[in-house]
Structure 1
């Protein structure tokens, strides 16, 4: 499945993302509490993942990809994202993340990418490891005590 494009996030996209709810155990990724204006703020780093005109997910670059409790540095660009709940588990994740990495590489030219993934999320961990990320640490969030894995993929 290809043909995904990373594009600026529109207000319509942000409002739609703020309705997304996921089935357990992924409900910690629910976007229903998100503020659309924060998603639209360029400093938040959010972008739409589109298939044609259809919003299939989002990617973010920078602070949004960080979870309180890890000692982040500027040696890698943090990136995160999500898929529309009805599209999870269908093999779209690797393509969406790869498209996001290509966009991030072109826009920011980072020396490395870093992702922070909830430890329980074996599906996401498997995807990012297949895309060349390696685990560099594990920590408990100071926000909610949940465990997270930090993975890095050098670009050089």
Structure 2
């Protein structure tokens, strides 16, 4: 498993991914945001197959919380057919290694839907500590903010 540059082909593929309820909120229906350098998206491949993506920067932020620059926001996802197979920790570790090498942040921060038990288990077992919970200002859904210091 490794991180590679996001390409138009990868972005178009990701824009077709559809998750089963309740995870359909993670469906990305447009390729363009994945290609915008300001959003910090990269592709996650395994043996030449696109299996996921990671993001570094503002894309990992959910409206309604008081974000600052004390940590680098990161997010990501796996191809729907690859979820629930125990790949989350490894995918996250590969993403964090890339982020550490490229950005050298003092800490990483993730914002996870409060009802996403799978993601909360993965980030919790990867050294992230819960620092807050809030309601998104756009949807009212509850989110948990977790931080992992890097020093």
**Alignment TM-score, normalising by the size of structure 2:** 0.98
CA distance in 2 between counterparts of 1:43 and 1:81 reads 15
CA RMSD of aligned residues (A): 0.6
- Report the counterpart of residue 10 of structure 2 in structure 1: 13
Residue ranges of structure 2 left out of the alignment (5+ in a row): none
| 1:40-51 alignment runs, 5 A limit | 40-51=35-46
Matched, 1:130 2:112: no
CA distance in 1 between counterparts of 2:32 and 2:114 reads 29
- Report the counterpart of residue 28 of structure 1 in structure 2: 25
Residue ranges of structure 1 left out of the alignment (5+ in a row): none
Deviation at 1:76, TM superposition (A): 0.1
Deviations 1:7-52 (A, max 9, x none): 10010000000001100111111112xx312211111100000002
Matched, 1:81 2:76: yes
The list of structure 1 runs, each at least 4 consecutive aligned residues, that deviate by more than 6 angstroms after superposition, is: none
CA distance in 1 between counterparts of 2:121 and 2:33 reads 30
CA distance in 2 between counterparts of 1:49 and 1:87 reads 12
CA distance in 1 between counterparts of 2:33 and 2:78 reads 18
Deviation at 1:86, TM superposition (A): 0.4
Q: In the comparison of the two structures, how many residue pairs are matched?
A: 151
CA distance in 2 between counterparts of 1:22 and 1:36 reads 16
**Secondary structure of 1:117's aligned partner:** strand
